[in-house]
Amino acid sequence: MKKPAKVKVSEILRILEKAYPRSRTSLQYKNPLQILIATILSAQCTDAKVNEITPSLFKKYPKVKDFAEAEREELEHEIHSTGFYRNKTKSILGAANKIVKDFNGYVPDSMKDLLTLPGVARKTANIVLSSGYGKSEGIAVDTHVKRISGRLGFSSEKDPDKIEQDLLTIIPKKDWLDFNYILVNHGRMICQARKPRCAECPVKHLCPSSNPLHQLLDDI
| Candidate list 98, 142, 175, 178, residue with the active-site label | 142
| Candidate list 88, 123, 175, 178, residue with the active-site label | 123
| Residue 195 annotated to the active site | no
3-state SS of the chain is CCCCCHHHHHHHHHHHHHHCCCCCCCCCCCCHHHHHHHHHHCCCCCHHHHHHHHHHHHHHCCCHHHHHCCCHHHHHHHCHHHCCHHHHHHHHHHHHHHHHHHCCCCCCCCHHHHCCCCCCCHHHHHHHHHHHHCCCCCCCCCHHHHHHHHHCCCCCCCCHHHHHHHHHHHCCHHHHHHHHHHHHHHHHHCCCCCCCCHHHCCCHHHCCCCCHHHHHHHHC
- Separation of alpha carbons 83 and 21, rounded Å: 31
Give burial (CB, 10 Å; 0-12/13-18/19+) of 113: middle
| Residue 123 annotated to the active site | yes
Residues marked active site are found at 123, 142
